[in-house]
């Protein structure tokens, strides 16, 4: 998988992408189940929105070129 941050292409490790998707899927399923069980359906959407905002804020703290170099160096 390749992502683009500010016109910089960054290659992600396929096995890390699979592991991350699995982990995040479990978390989202857990939040969804808890939201339904407690009748707080809007909580599910609030979590998704806040996850998006926080991840964007964190990614914006990195210089895309530096992140690209780090990913190249440590991906095996």
Give the total number of structural domains in the chain: 1
Task: Name which of 63, 52, 9, 74 is nearest 1 in CA terms.
Answer: 9
**In the prediction, which pLDDT does 72 show?**
84
pTM: 0.77
Q: What is the pLDDT of residues 7-36, one digit of tens each?
A: 889 999 999 999 999 999 999 999 999 999
**Close Cβ partners of 65 (under 8 Å, ≥ 6 residues apart):** 8
The boundaries of the domain holding residue 39 are 2-74
Amino acid 76: pLDDT? 64
- pLDDT 10s digits, 31-76: 999 999 999 999 999 999 999 999 999 988 989 888 888 888 887 6
pLDDT of amino acid 40: 96
């Amino acid at each position: 998988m390749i992502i683009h941050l500010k016109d910089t292409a960054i290659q992600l490790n396929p096995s890390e992408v699979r592991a991350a998707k699995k982990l995040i899927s479990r978390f989202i399923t857990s939040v969804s189940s808890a939201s339904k069980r407690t009748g707080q359906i809007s909580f599910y959407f609030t979590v998704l929105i806040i996850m998006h905002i926080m991840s964007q804020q964190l990614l914006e703290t990195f210089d895309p070129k530096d992140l690209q170099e780090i990913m190249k160096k440590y991906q095996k």
